[in-house]
Amino acid sequence: MRSHLTEALAAMEAPFEPDEVEPPSSPHKPTKEYVLDMVKRRLCLDSPGWTVPMIHFLNEDEHCAAFLSFITLLEPSLDDDIESFLLDGPSHSHMKGPKVPRDDTDVTDALKRSYRATMLMAGEDTSDAVLLLLQSKARLMTKCLFPIFQANSSGNLRHGCKILDKLTRSHLNDVQQVVGANGRTCGRYMQSLLEHIEHPHVSELFLTMICKPHNAALLRVYLSPPATKVMFYKALADIKIILLIAQHICDTQYDEVHAIAAADVLLELLDRLAADDFGAIVLEPLSHSTQLLESLVTTALTPEGGKSPASYLAPPCGRRTAAIRCLLGLLEKAAQDQVVGPPTSPYQSFGSTVVNLVPNQLHVAKSFVFGRVQAHLPEILTYLQKQFTSQQQQQHAAGCDHGVRHTAYTVSHPFTEFRLLLVQMLVALVEHDAAHLATFFSVDVWRILVSWFVQY
């Protein structure tokens, strides 16, 4: 008489040998190895389509978690449960540290199995039975998929994000209930995403999970009840998510690509939350926390090569440009009384429509943000003066390798994006309080600005 495991394997239409799959223990309690072997045989098929018995099989929590393990591909750890596949989200112990190489280009057998599992769960032709499975297992799948962002995972991030996006699109309530249960839990989940924020699919998942983009086509998806959203936003406020993102911009342990991506995420998140009805909950720390602004200013105005004249002429690194972009974005966004809000109709993208203006949730932080940045106005002007002086001293110096060659001429000291952003910050500060013109803008400062205007 065949065991329960053998019958399930046969129902899944996977090839098997009876002698190989009979578990040595009770037929009602198959071991992890046997469950993995069952799912692996199914995913080894070129076209592992859905069957009713297979859906019934995955309705078991352990079996569903085993299925997802072929996507997360976690390296064995001493923290592993030897009897269960179930996970409780990303682990703090594997959040940072040396990362396991991920198979993104080499088509290995593990990558093929991961792709097949992903397309079964999040393919375009998902059946109603699979949609019901996703609905019933949304919280379990969220907990079991997020470990793909751990350092000991070799899973393909695109595969994991595709399924998580499928869950957030239709079951955002369940995802936010899991991630936003409390501040500590929220910190684990969001920090695991931030460690890979330079990947476009990860950054998009990060943003969409918090606040969907202002797109009329997405009006009826990515929905959660107000109570769940408020709970999630309070958890984000507890961990000071805006400050966490800023750390990934300013901290030198992350490379420049990572810092630039984090800056893009910060600016986009500010844009979305400023127009969200509950966005003030997450943005509240900006009204009193000096850490964000001070760290961005310090990062932006500290040359890589110290305080030598040459360091002011060298092109700023991407991290410094990212920091100054965030400062300028904060000033510009906080200064607005109203911002463009989400569309009010799914047909708003067709034809000319009236722009939906809503109160700016960041506007309450205007005085504090401008006050803190204005305190650094003398430092900003001093930086520009030192840069101008160094440029004048080395205008004709030999060996200057910062020039940019064009077709018929060479610009020895190009007017970089960083310098342009600094000047735009001056404009924003003066627009807020014109008294700064008389207080801080000396004749030397005006001479510098006019010289650059004529030269460039």
250 neighbors 299 (Cβ within 8 angstroms): yes
Burial-class residue 409 by CB neighbours within 10 Å (0-12, 13-18, 19+).
Answer: exposed
Q: Is the pLDDT of residue 441 over 50?
A: yes
**69 token code pair:** 């393990």
Residue that the structure tokens 């109203």 belong to: 338
pLDDT at res. 249: 97
Q: Is the pLDDT of residue 339 over 90?
A: yes
Closest CA to 191 of 307, 99, 314, 90: 90
Residue type, 399: G
445 neighbors 384 (Cβ within 8 angstroms): yes
Q: Is the pLDDT of residue 19 over 50?
A: no
**245 token code pair:** 């993102």
| 165 Cα distance to chain centroid | 13
pLDDT digits (tens, 9 = 90+) for 169-180: 999 999 999 999
Residue that the structure tokens 């769960």 belong to: 121
Which of the given ranges, 2-11, 97-106, 220-229, has the highest pLDDT on average?
Answer: 220-229
Give the number of other CB atoms < 10 A from CB of residue 77: 11
- Helix or strand run (H / E) with residue 235: helix 226-238
pLDDT at res. 111: 92
pLDDT at res. 365: 95
Q: How far apart are the C-alpha atoms of 250 and 242, rounded to whole Å?
A: 13
152 neighbors 195 (Cβ within 8 angstroms): no
Residue that the structure tokens 């720390």 belong to: 285
Give the number of other CB atoms < 10 A from CB of residue 20: 11
Q: Which residues on adjacent β-strands are paired with residue 357?
A: 340
| 18 Cα distance to chain centroid | 47
How much is the average pLDDT of 355-380?
A: 93
Which of the given ranges, 65-69, 412-416, 446-450, has the highest pLDDT on average?
Answer: 65-69
pLDDT mean across residues, the chain: 86
CB-based contacts of 139, cutoff 8 Å, min separation 6: 174, 175, 177, 178
How much is the average pLDDT of 357-365?
A: 94
**424 token code pair:** 């735009």
Q: Is the pLDDT of residue 211 over 70?
A: yes
Helices 226-238, 157-179: crossing angle, 10 deg rounding: 100
Closest CA to 292 of 365, 354, 225: 365
Q: How far apart are the C-alpha atoms of 209 and 205, rounded to whole Å?
A: 6
Phi then psi for 6, rounded to 5 degrees?
Answer: -65, -40
Closest CA to 166 of 89, 112, 221: 221
Closest CA to 197 of 248, 154, 234: 248
447 neighbors 454 (Cβ within 8 angstroms): no
Q: Is the pLDDT of residue 5 over 60?
A: no
The upper half-sphere exposure of residue 327, i.e. CA atoms within 13 Å in the direction of its Cβ, equals: 36
| 226 Cα distance to chain centroid | 23
- pTM score: 0.88
How much is the average pLDDT of 95-103?
A: 76
**79 token code pair:** 């923290």
Q: Which residues on adjacent β-strands are paired with residue 181?
A: none
411 neighbors 437 (Cβ within 8 angstroms): no
pLDDT digits (tens, 9 = 90+) for 175-205: 999 999 999 999 999 999 999 999 999 999 9
- Between these two residues, 429 and 398, which has the higher pLDDT value? 429
- Helix or strand run (H / E) with residue 233: helix 226-238
- Number of residues assigned to the chain: 456
**343 token code pair:** 């569309």
Q: How confident is the model at residue 11 (pLDDT cuts 50, 70, 90)?
A: very low
Q: What DSSP line would sit under 290-344, residue for residue? A: -HHHHHHHHHHHS-TTTTSHHHHHSPPPHHHHHHHHHHHHHHHHHT-SEEE---S
Q: What DSSP line would sit under 171-216, residue for residue? A: HHHHHHHHHTSSHHHHHHHHHHHHTTTTSHHHHHHHHHHHS--S-G
Q: Is the pLDDT of residue 352 over 80?
A: no
